[in-house]
Amino acid sequence: MSNVLEVQSLHVDFHLHGGYVQAVQDVSFHIKEGETLGLVGESGCGKSVTSLALVRLLSKTARVTGKVLYKGRDLLQVSGPELRRVRGGEVSMIFQEPMTSLNPVYKIGAQISEALRLHDKVSPRAAFARSLEMLRKVGIARPEEIMHAYPHQLSGGMRQRVMIAIAMVCSPSLLIADEPTTALDVTIQAQILELMKMLSQDFGTSVLLITHDLGVVAETCDRVAVMYAGNIVEQGNVEDIFASPEHPYTQGLLKAIPKIDSVVKERLQPIEGTVPTPARMPAGCRFAPRCALVQPGCRLERPSLYTVGDEHVARCFLHDRKEVAQ
Amino acid sequence: MLKYTLRRIIEAIPTVLGVTLLSFVLIHIVPGSPVRILLGNHYTPYRAELLSRTLGLNKPLPVQYFTWLGNLLHGNFGYSYTYDKPVVSLMLQALPHTIIIVVVAVLAAHVFAVFLGSVQAYFENTKFDQIVTVINYFFYSMPTFWLAVLLIIFFSIDLNWFPSGGIVNTQLASPSFGDWAKHLVLPIAALFLVSVAGWARYMRSSMREALLQDYVRTARMKGAKEFRVIFVHALRNSILPLITLLGLSLPALLSGALFVEEVFNYPGMGLLYWDAVNSRDYPIIMGITVFVGLVTVIGNLIADLLYGLIDPRIQYT
Ligand SMILES: Nc1ncnc2c1ncn2[C@@H]1O[C@H](COP(=O)(O)OP(=O)(O)OP(=O)(O)O)[C@@H](O)[C@H]1O
Ligand SMILES: [Mg+2]
């Protein structure tokens, strides 16, 4: 199977107070056709920055280097018109904040049809019909009415469904969903995830699902990349990562998930400490200050990604006798 | 919405009355009496007494005010002291001249300021933005009458492109439309320039804010061009504060028109007011005060209604 997206050594620096701070460093991953890749990590580790960098949606203060190969074309190099053809048409995105992501002064119908009309030559009437159809597909009751509603008349869950309709209306090959359920009620979260799963299967869309919830990853993803402080620290198939996490950070994250089916009520063990901000990165391994298994060498040098299994890599000196991954 | 409009108008009545009272008190505090000015060289105490009596100026001030108010409620603005004509007919004569320069200047300035401020916000902190900001400050801080004088010096005296005052060339037997239009250019330009500067600054900050919003990112994600992102998605949101400003700025513009009309000797409401103040022609001063009060109320009302049209979150009840 070929790769829809291949990210090679992505770096993002922000121009700040006359200097640069590194938000994302040497991030590489790929997504195969029809596959869902989870990108997990604590708040502030650079998930949103990574996802926005892929389609060049970061502010002008960001400096992005590396390669973002979408079906072989480097999105960081393509011209403006070509980038706009890809955005929305082939690569779509859903954001973390459904409450503010829709334009408050335009009707829902207009906002969905706009996405269509920017890419396909369709009449206003046909665009309206297809938008209505899309609203129905994202499970909105009374779609005819909602077409004429304004965003402020909708709940958060409805707005996120509308965002999904906007993102999927052109049947993109890749959907980037940046914590699409974080802002929603728990009961709505499951419905939205189910909807995304169903639509991406129907449309054959590959998904990059960003989340800080490993439970969500277990249910929806094929593979997972774990991010910590701007780096990917572990990557592999979901089963492998859950069965044998090789990086102390991943191990810590897994210990922090509540197990509903466990007989004995285990105490959750959150990882001590906080994610370092880009301006105050530790010199060696970025996780060293919080790591239970830290060695003196960890604070001096930064580990590479080592191959720890089939399609499974980890950025930790515990595995430094193994091969360095590409 | 009709109910809302009516309620707003009724609520405004006390404000307008308050303004007339204030204005009445102020014109009587200012030294100088209309009688003295009207009589000029023919002044004698006897004649002054007689004229005071005819004009009703010998009565106590509260009586004068309530007499005036009573007449106003019957739609009677009174008689001008100096022109010997009803105030209403003088105002109606001057009004179209003021309306044309104010309306053209307001509309042109608004459209241009919205465009300029948006582009400035988009190119925030570039050389372009900095240069435009400096130019804006220059016009913003310049007194209106001084700007009007400068325009006359450059375009009328030095270049001789436009006439320096009036509304038609009195030397011509039958002044043409073109001649009239030529007389409008400099007064409109003066009002335009002083308005654009302030509004463009508001627009710049409002658009700056809008461009940082999440829905702008959504528009880009859909594949919209930058032009569309700015002028379709961000504009409609960022223009809202400017509409309120438009309502508030109408009276300010009328006072701007006052200086401009005076400098250009342009026979509009401003010049009428100016002359009335100089000759202490109380009925005209009070009449124009009522008019400006009404314009302010109506301006704000129109702004609020427009706001509701543009922002679907606003409901009028
Ligand atoms: N425009 C910017 N300028 C400077 N620093 C930024 C900018 N945007 C993000 N950052 C920094 O980059 C780091 C990563 O932020 P990012 O938003 O990607 O985190 P995240 O993993 O998405 O977190 P969350 O789960 O809270 O959404 C943060 O430390 C943040 O402060
Ligand atoms: Mg985020």
Q: Which residues contact A201 (CB under 8 A, 6 or more apart)?
A: none
pLDDT band at B171 (very low <50, low <70, confident <90, very high): low
Structure tokens at A67: 């390669």
In tens, the pLDDT along A70-105 reads 998 999 999 999 999 999 989 999 998 888 999 999
pLDDT at A205: 93
Q: Is the CB of A155 under 6 A from ligand 1?
A: no
What ipTM score was computed for the predicted complex, to two decimals?
0.88
Mean pLDDT of A47-75: 93
Which range has the top average pLDDT, A163-177, B183-197, B251-265?
A163-177
pLDDT at A277: 78
CA B288 to chain centre: 12
Contact yes or no for B222 and A118 at CB 8 A: yes
Of A55, A87, A95, Cβ closest to residue B214: A95
* A22, A281 Cβ separation under 8 angstroms: yes
* B221, A93 Cβ separation under 8 angstroms: yes
The pLDDT > 90 percentage for chain B reads 19
Tell me which of A262 and B258 has the higher pLDDT: B258
Domain ranges, ordered by start, for chain A: 3-90+170-319, 101-169
Q: Mean pLDDT for chain A?
A: 88
Question: A208 to chain B, minimum CA–CA distance in Å?
Answer: 15
Mean pLDDT of B270-280: 86
Rounded distance, CA A88 to CA B47, Å? 86
pLDDT at B206: 93
pLDDT band at B174 (very low <50, low <70, confident <90, very high): low
Question: A165 to chain B, minimum CA–CA distance in Å?
Answer: 12
Residue A204 CB-density burial (10 A; 0-12 exposed, 13-18 middle, 19+ buried) = exposed
pLDDT at A16: 83
Which ligand has the minimum distance to the alpha carbon of residue A17? 1
Rounded distance, CA B16 to CA B297, Å? 8
Q: Which protein residue has the closest C-alpha to ligand 1 atom 19? A: A44
Q: By three-state DSSP, how is residue A63 classified?
A: strand
The chain A residue lying nearest B215, using CA atoms, is A101
In tens, the pLDDT along A132-157 reads 999 998 888 899 999 999 999 998 88
- Helices and strands (H, E) in chain A, number of each type: 10, 12
Chain B residues touching residue A92 (CB < 8 angstroms): 221
The chain A residue lying nearest B312, using CA atoms, is A105
Distance A38 CA to ligand 2 centre (A): 14
How many residue contacts between A and B have a Cβ separation below 8 Å?
Answer: 65
CA A273 to chain centre: 24
Rounded distance, CA B84 to CA B94, Å? 16
Rounded distance, CA B167 to CA B149, Å? 17
Of A93, A119, A150, Cβ closest to residue B221: A93
The pLDDT > 70 percentage for chain B reads 97
Q: In terms of C-beta distances under 8 Å and separation of at least 24 residues, what long-range contacts does B176-184 make, across chains too?
A: B183/B266, B184/B100, B184/B101, B184/B104
Q: Does B5 touch chain A (CB under 8 A)?
A: no
Chain B residues touching residue A97 (CB < 8 angstroms): 214
Domain ranges, ordered by start, for chain B: 88-239+254-266
Rounded distance, CA A208 to CA A179, Å? 10
Residue A309 CB-density burial (10 A; 0-12 exposed, 13-18 middle, 19+ buried) = middle
Q: Which of residues 235-264 of B touch A (CB under 8 A)?
A: 236-237
Q: What atom in ligand 1 is closest to the CA of residue A210?
A: 22
Chain B residues touching residue A88 (CB < 8 angstroms): 221-223
In tens, the pLDDT along A186-207 reads 888 888 888 888 898 999 999 9
Q: Give me the amino acid identity at B160.
A: N
Place of tokens 């990165």: A281
* Helices B214-222 & A156-168 angle (0-180, nearest 10): 20
Polymer length in residues for chain A:
326
pLDDT at B208: 93
Q: Which protein residue has the closest C-alpha to ligand 1 atom 11? A: A23
Q: In terms of C-beta distances under 8 Å and separation of at least 24 residues, what long-range contacts does B309-312 make, across chains too?
A: B310/A105, B310/B236, B310/B239, B310/B240, B310/B243, B311/A104, B311/A105, B311/B240, B312/A104, B312/A105, B312/A150, B312/A152
What fold, for A3-90+170-319? Rossmann fold (3.40.50)
In tens, the pLDDT along B198-210 reads 889 999 999 999 9
* B310, B242 Cβ separation under 8 angstroms: no
User: With 60 as the cut, is the pLDDT of residue A266 above it?
Assistant: no
pTM summary value: 0.82
Residues at Cβ < 5 Å from ligand 2 ion = A 48
